[in-house]
Amino acid sequence: MDASSHRPVPETSIRYDGWRIVVVCFLLATFGWGLGFYGQSVYVAELHRLRGWPTSLISSGTTFFYLFGALLVAFVAEAIKAFGQRNCLIAGTLAMAAGIAIGQVREPWQLYLANAVLAFGWAGTSLGVITNTLGLWFDSKRGMAISLALNGASFGGIVGVPLLVAGIGYFGFPGAMIVAALVMIALMVPVILIFVGRPPVPAHTAATASADAPSPTQIRKDALRDPAFLSVSIAFALVLFAQVGFIVHLIAFLDGVIGRERATVAMALLTAMAVIGRVLFSFVIDRMNQRLASSLSFASQAVALAILINVQNDVALIAACALFGFSVGNLITLPALIVQREFDPRSFGVLISLITAINQITYAFGPGVVGLLRDFSDSYALPFNVCIGVELIAAVLILIRGRAR
């Protein structure tokens, strides 16, 4: 159905067609993060168990996945403009489904090939494409729409990791990956085809955008010279470096401490707390200093990591995972909210793609660095201490604000 026929319906109305796009993006995020982000933690543990490959080798494949994906994410806004959001969402779905053939790999080079395909799927199902798509449908309620849709990211961790582990136990690693791919295609492709139509284009918005909107290249050049943008992008890049490195290795770390079953519970609790944290923040975030909220979130993760490497009690370890998870969801929402508040709204799509790419290029090295430090020291204490230092640096940096353009 052509959404333009419903232009009189305001965004605040439950009948506004954009809210069905929020549901689609929620489902997309569920699969994108469940299979592309949190799933990497399962892949590292399973490939190490099945193939006996060094943790650093498998982690380097994960780093390649994030790094290559970052190069693709930077151009998501242009891809949506050229091909339409529906085609981009379907392409992302199919690429993600093909990429989780990672369960079939037998040689290290196949691991990198699978991660390359998975990177295309990640670019088409994650933050860049979701925020850009919702940006076409929402203006005044954009922050709320993005927050609600990105709860799917946390939901993907809550249900995705336990289902993957259960599927692996029943079908084996290769079989479980095939089943996951088929389920994703069977659900997402029809949903996208049915519910994602043409976004509304208000006359005043179209006129303003076409009259004096800067080019994407100019927006990027200006942003990379802007202290306000750099402080946001660098701070979140650093903290996501630590966060991703930790989460990818979480099951492998806890497996030897509290066992696989409790490790899975800890991961599920971490992602459940991410949902709770985002929902609670959503009621107050518009009235808060979002940079200060970010800084406090970074510091809380550092505290959680300190508990994990210094306390041996099982309950305390699981509680530390919950504390860490409380801010995980907000760290993928807050950059978009800060950009929306501090920068030209016409630049929103390009800036979000750029900040997502910068963040991903940086945190792409998180799993590999954590893996190398773990192999070097034969313990996760050293890499997790490094993550604590990075989190604290980011907590200070995010508070340094220049003048936004």
171 by Cβ neighbours in 10 Å (0-12 / 13-18 / 19+) ranks as middle
Residue numbers of the chain with a pLDDT score lower than 70: 1-13, 140, 201-213, 282, 285-286, 402-405
Residues in CB range of 70: below 8 A, 6 or more apart: 356, 357, 358, 359, 360, 361, 364
At 15, list the tokens: 């009948």
- The answer to whether 38 touches 161, Cβ cutoff 8 Å, is yes
Q: Nearest Cα to 157, choosing from 283, 90, 60, 248?
A: 248
Residue 43 phi/psi, 5° resolution?
-60, -40
Please report the pLDDT score of residue 3 as a whole number. 44
CA 223-227-229 angle, to 5 degrees, is: 45
At 163, list the tokens: 């289902």
3-class SS of residue 317: helix
* Residue ranges covered by each domain of the chain: 15-201+214-397
Which CATH number, 3.40.50.620, 3.40.50.1980, 3.30.450.20, 1.20.1250.20, labels domain 15-201+214-397?
1.20.1250.20
Burial 104-117 (b: 16+ CB within 10 A, else e): ebeebeebebbbbb
Q: At what angle do helices 142-195 and 127-137 cross, to 10 degrees?
A: 90
Please report the pLDDT score of residue 205 as a whole number. 47
Distance CA 55, CA 383 (A): 13
Please report the pLDDT score of residue 8 as a whole number. 54
Please report the pLDDT score of residue 286 as a whole number. 65
Distance CA 344, CA 229 (A): 12
Distance CA 77, CA 84 (A): 10
Please report the pLDDT score of residue 177 as a whole number. 87
Please report the pLDDT score of residue 95 as a whole number. 92
Please report the pLDDT score of residue 391 as a whole number. 94
Report which residue type is found at 158.
I
